[in-house]
Structure 1
Amino acid sequence: MKYFFLVIFTGLQLFASLDDITSFEADFTQSITDEKNKTLVYNGKITALKPQNAKWSYTKPVKKDVYINDFEVTIVEPEIEQVIVRTLESNFDFFKMISNAKKIAENKYLAHYKDSKFTIIKNGSLIESISYLDEFENRVQINFKNQKQNQHVNKAIFTPSFPLEFDIIRD
């Protein structure tokens, strides 16, 4: 379930104009705040390409790459020399979800998937932030900067890359 939300993030990146976005790149800051108001902050870069390809490259506080392709997520953690490969839900239809998102205020949209609500803030045609409650009731906020959309993206970047000596765990 934890990695399910990575797919949501990836898809929401493409929400910027609902119909016309084919790729999205941005730097991001992701803040996760628990019920005790303790906040963890992550930084990195995302590259996403329709229909369901994404690479989240985390740079702080730890280096980690998360690859999403079709119905699989691969997490490469160089600091512990480990790769985790997980299958995602096969019935998730991201584009149907965003096409049903409702405008609730100027530049503010609400999207639903299962029991979760995602608030998307736009600045012009670009996504500025996404926020939601995760499965542990943590408040998650992702802010974007240096956004680019509909740029050519080499699909090869979505192929997981890691040294052969890393441990591979399949879930």
Structure 2
Amino acid sequence: MIIVILILAAILFIYFNVIPGKGHTIISWLSLIVTSLCILGIVAHDYNHWGMKTETQISKQSLVSSATPNLPLLLYQPLGNGTEKVYLYKTNNEQKKPNAIKLDKVSTEIKHSAQANLQIETTRYVYRDNFSRIMFGVFSHNNELKQRKYIFTIPSSWKVISTKDMKNLQKQLQEKMQAQRAAALH
């Protein structure tokens, strides 16, 4: 709707500036002010989400080991130089592959507690009221993601290790088992 108002105000501004007449100057100035306000409104909506508010949804799930039930681990895959991490988690033991966190506008936190669980806080922009929805609905910013926060709460007995370290650990365990088998045969 704001685009329509902007176009109409710009047309009125041009029309009343080109065609001379009594009272055209006042209408021309008013249409220029409306045009400017529409442009400012569009820019403020696009950059600062003007006319919108944030809503946060929280979901909580139980957490089980990312590896096997006997080995309480939370795995992560380092990205780039290792400062960013993609955490891999399971919510039940029947899962074959662990889920990866979504990386779009994400933050993670690890806390310690007696129970292992995962809390996902998703914050989205929604229109403040129907007027804002009517004015800015053409830009499709409703339910736009602002932030997603993963809070992993794990017992102190759990370890947080990288997938590379997990592969090395598995390799060491296999070598140890092979050495024990070889020693048992001799």
TM normalised by structure 2 equals 0.22
Q: Which is bigger in relative contact order (C-alpha 8 A, separation at least 6)?
A: 1
Task: Please identify which structure carries the higher strand content.
Answer: 1
Which of the two has higher C-alpha Rg?
Answer: 2
TM-score, scaled to structure 1: 0.24
